[in-house]
Structure 1
């Protein structure tokens, strides 16, 4: 087997292997050549070459999201590293373990006008769990001369050099171990900055270093007995308890605990599309339920205890409701962090939801209350109004989503774009066999397609991405990728602009709005599909959409994209009338 000659590169690669980081996403470059040589010549690693670093990082994020284990991205020095930032921020807020390996110039070449050089040390400072800034190997003289004293004889100098060399190696090993262990234990991004001096391409047949592997410290799941006792007592004393679930991976909670929550008359469970939790007694489609409520209704709905778990919440309406009508207590369950989203957080329960419920629910009492019954009645009314409205509504974004979501194959993966896409999906009760994902950490449109591609590569189930037109075009380099499986499907809702801005307050249908907010365009995905080898189809009415979806998911020799053109000047009216009809 061939190895890079540089000991530091050998150290990084060996520790990645020892800690089970198997998927390596590499963007071509020269300064990162020692890493590229090492990863690509080792059969343990699965390597991907993605030219665009922004796409590469989101692609890696999609892999890590599915495998729930660290995935590495490797880039050269300079601005290449900065292109990782959007995905690093998403990983930071979405709790996705991403390991950034950036090659760098030696210290003596930074700040002197050398090419492709920036200040890479701690560059992700505000959105990273740990930054490891490694030291150059000792055999690069320019880096170490200032650290050595003047010696009277060569023997003393050699001894000092050996000691310094060991010190540098020990430091680098400790930093790499700490960074990767943090990615595992805290589920988030870490950055390892790695200086290399030339020559960069030399290879050897035998490793020159054998780095030490430091085990990952396991976090305790134990809850303090006093905390558990207080939670049980407060829960039993309350007659109105609300459970609100944000972004969660599939199968995180045992069904028996969901069943217990569903049986309690004093509990209502609100789930978002991204929560991947389902029960016939729960309340999905939050906005559909609460949008028509008046202030008196909200006071009736106001919980005494709010229990949350999972990631960030999509629904603006429930955030506004719970910020105005605050619960007396808000508990959040998470091992690593607790956001005070509703400005009422008073209990951070540092464990996993499943572990908490296994200790908590067997000890609580089922309370007598009409809280659940009242809101089940509201849910039933909304369901009838929802169905009636969609029977007569004209073709639009809303109608398109109804048809799309009713036709996604069972037991497949659904990736949702941001802005309008995820919010439309929130209005429907999704097929419970689907696994649903969306980049809700920063809620940006910049990497949805790349993330979906990474997901499709790493998950054997078929993946469908639903995206708005601006989001898809913005991330179109995601298709510049040789790894996309033939069963990957993209559905682009093209309303020729940023449709969400037509729903928000503003002066619509003016030149200023059209240009600077909605961003009018006449672009389509057809030429991109021709260039990147996708089968392309387009529709602009309900009948054609239903017809095309009949064959859209059948086996093919290429991935497929379906572009749906909707009437931009009607979409916002249809949606606003929908919320009126729910009451």
Structure 2
């Protein structure tokens, strides 16, 4: 096996290997050549080559999102690194372990007009868990270009000092790399290793010259302070209205036994978002369908005494508006890392896992007599019936298309959702409990949905389907410039010729200003992108065509497939807004 000659590159690669970072997404470049040589020539790593750094970072995010373990992205120096920022911000807010490794030029070449250089240290300062700014390996041959060298009085003194400096720099780099990767593992988030290399960059050796010290990551204690737990138990046993709201959650992370206990308590109302991946017949999915048409009396009847939240960010703007106006007496959040005061009334943050908290709480509490859940169960049934009635009488629009598509997604597969209107339409439907659902809700951006979904698809044996809007798809079209897309991967693009969500929001519609600067009107399609990148291309413009195409769309084939569904942009918003009036 061959290794890069540069000791710092060897150190980075060996410590990534020791900490189980198997997936390495590399964007071609020259300054990162030592890292590329090391990662791509070691069979422990699965290396991917993706040219566009923004797509590469979201691709790596999709892998890390699926595996729940650190994934690395490697780039050359200069502006290449800045293209990682959108995905890194998503990782920061979604709690996804992403390890950014950027090659850099030596310090003496920065700020002097040398090519492909920017100020890389701490460039992600506001959206990073840790930045490790590593030091350049020391060479005896060219001491005039090295950093922080002392004045030597003798040759003997010079040799001893250089040896000491080399050891000191190596120890510093090992410590920083260990610390950064351990933080990514422990806190589940992004970190940055900035790695300066001097030329020559392409030399390699057959034996390692360094053996870095491996510092293992420490496991966080799940224990809850007795005083906090006892107070939770007392309050839980006396509250007649307890609402549980679950945000983004990885599938199969909550134990079924605790879900079953919650389902039997009439004082507990469990609201689940599509991205929560939690299902029970006694719970309440499709939040907006339940609360969208409530009046003041309805909101007062729904207002909880205790709000218990866990999981990531909440999609529903309606539930956020409700809980900010009709605040609970107490809001508890359960998480090992952080608590967002989303509803401006957070008063208890329990730093542990939801499973551990529920195992301690529910074994020492009892069901409380209440009509809270039963009342809203009746509302849920009425809303569901009206939902079906409305769908049967409307014309072909976004809402009708989502009904057909979500019913056709194969069971036991993965569903990736784009942002904006896509994830919000999905929230209105009771999605199969066999599906695993993901969406980039950390920053809620449209910029990397396709790349993330492709990254997810290469990290699993399950079929992955992405549903996305036209703007989101076109914005991330370089995601298809990727030689790693599985043949089973499927994309469904809802093309309503612009940013359809802006037609739902308040504003002046059907004006030149709105069409140009808000909705971003266009007449583009995915057809030629599919031809260029080798995807099968299908279209549907009405319910019959969509039903027919979906029958074969998910079948096996010799290439990935894309189905583009064209819907009438001037009718979509009217149908959706009337939907909420109808189900009231």
Instruction: Quickly name the TM-score band, shorter chain normalised.
Output: over 0.9
- Residue 383 of structure 2 is matched in structure 1 by 382
For 2:211 and 2:550, the matched residues in 1 are separated by 55
Question: Contact between 2:74 and 2:101, CA under 8 Å: does it hold in 1?
Answer: yes
- Residue 176 of structure 1 is matched in structure 2 by 177
Change (3 A) 1:142 1:420: farther
Question: Contact between 2:332 and 2:348, CA under 8 Å: does it hold in 1?
Answer: yes
Change (3 A) 1:369 1:30: same
Do residues 303 (structure 1) and 312 (structure 2) align?
no
TM-score, structure 1 length as denominator?
A: 0.99
Deviation per residue, 1:29-69 (Å, 9 max, x gap): 00000000000011110000000000000000000000100
For 2:350 and 2:16, the matched residues in 1 are separated by 32
Look up the SS of the partner of 1:464 in the other structure.
Answer: strand
Once the two structures are TM-superposed, the CA of residue 279 in structure 1 deviates from its matched residue by: 0.2
Look up the SS of the partner of 1:414 in the other structure.
Answer: strand
For 2:450 and 2:368, the matched residues in 1 are separated by 46
For 2:139 and 2:201, the matched residues in 1 are separated by 13
Question: Contact between 1:107 and 1:143, CA under 8 Å: does it hold in 2?
Answer: no
Once the two structures are TM-superposed, the CA of residue 149 in structure 1 deviates from its matched residue by: 2.8
Deviation per residue, 1:239-261 (Å, 9 max, x gap): 00000000000001110100000
Question: Contact between 2:495 and 2:565, CA under 8 Å: does it hold in 1?
Answer: yes
**Structure 2 residues without counterparts, runs of 5 or longer:** none
- Residue 60 of structure 1 is matched in structure 2 by 60
Query: How is 1:351-366 mapped onto 2 (pairs within 5 angstroms)?
Result: 351-366=352-367
- Residue 133 of structure 2 is matched in structure 1 by 133
Once the two structures are TM-superposed, the CA of residue 142 in structure 1 deviates from its matched residue by: 5.4
Query: How is 1:531-550 mapped onto 2 (pairs within 5 angstroms)?
Result: 531-550=532-551
Query: How is 1:72-471 mapped onto 2 (pairs within 5 angstroms)?
Result: 72-139=72-139, 141=142, 147-471=148-472
Once the two structures are TM-superposed, the CA of residue 152 in structure 1 deviates from its matched residue by: 2.6
Question: Contact between 2:138 and 2:146, CA under 8 Å: does it hold in 1?
Answer: no
For 1:152 and 1:68, the matched residues in 2 are separated by 54
Query: How is 1:550-565 mapped onto 2 (pairs within 5 angstroms)?
Result: 550-565=551-566
Look up the SS of the partner of 1:321 in the other structure.
Answer: helix
Once the two structures are TM-superposed, the CA of residue 136 in structure 1 deviates from its matched residue by: 0.2
For 2:309 and 2:202, the matched residues in 1 are separated by 52
Deviation per residue, 1:476-507 (Å, 9 max, x gap): 00000000000000000000000000000000
Look up the SS of the partner of 1:227 in the other structure.
Answer: helix
Question: Contact between 1:177 and 1:214, CA under 8 Å: does it hold in 2?
Answer: yes
For 2:298 and 2:143, the matched residues in 1 are separated by 72
Question: Contact between 1:8 and 1:137, CA under 8 Å: does it hold in 2?
Answer: yes
Look up the SS of the partner of 1:83 in the other structure.
Answer: helix
Count of matched residue pairs = 583
For 1:135 and 1:11, the matched residues in 2 are separated by 12
Question: Contact between 1:138 and 1:144, CA under 8 Å: does it hold in 2?
Answer: no
Look up the SS of the partner of 1:518 in the other structure.
Answer: coil
Change (3 A) 1:512 1:252: same
For 1:428 and 1:421, the matched residues in 2 are separated by 12
Once the two structures are TM-superposed, the CA of residue 145 in structure 1 deviates from its matched residue by: 5.0
For 1:427 and 1:470, the matched residues in 2 are separated by 21
Question: Contact between 1:108 and 1:143, CA under 8 Å: does it hold in 2?
Answer: no
**Structure 1 residues without counterparts, runs of 5 or longer:** none
For 1:441 and 1:582, the matched residues in 2 are separated by 31
Once the two structures are TM-superposed, the CA of residue 150 in structure 1 deviates from its matched residue by: 2.6
For 1:296 and 1:302, the matched residues in 2 are separated by 10
Question: Contact between 1:136 and 1:143, CA under 8 Å: does it hold in 2?
Answer: no
Look up the SS of the partner of 2:199 in the other structure.
Answer: coil
Look up the SS of the partner of 1:377 in the other structure.
Answer: helix
Once the two structures are TM-superposed, the CA of residue 139 in structure 1 deviates from its matched residue by: 1.1
Look up the SS of the partner of 1:514 in the other structure.
Answer: helix
For 1:296 and 1:410, the matched residues in 2 are separated by 40
- Residue 11 of structure 2 is matched in structure 1 by 11
Change (3 A) 1:143 1:67: farther
For 2:169 and 2:359, the matched residues in 1 are separated by 47
Change (3 A) 1:178 1:203: same
Once the two structures are TM-superposed, the CA of residue 539 in structure 1 deviates from its matched residue by: 0.6
Question: Contact between 1:108 and 1:142, CA under 8 Å: does it hold in 2?
Answer: no
Change (3 A) 1:550 1:113: same
Look up the SS of the partner of 1:362 in the other structure.
Answer: coil
For 2:491 and 2:203, the matched residues in 1 are separated by 43
For 1:146 and 1:132, the matched residues in 2 are separated by 17
Look up the SS of the partner of 1:363 in the other structure.
Answer: coil
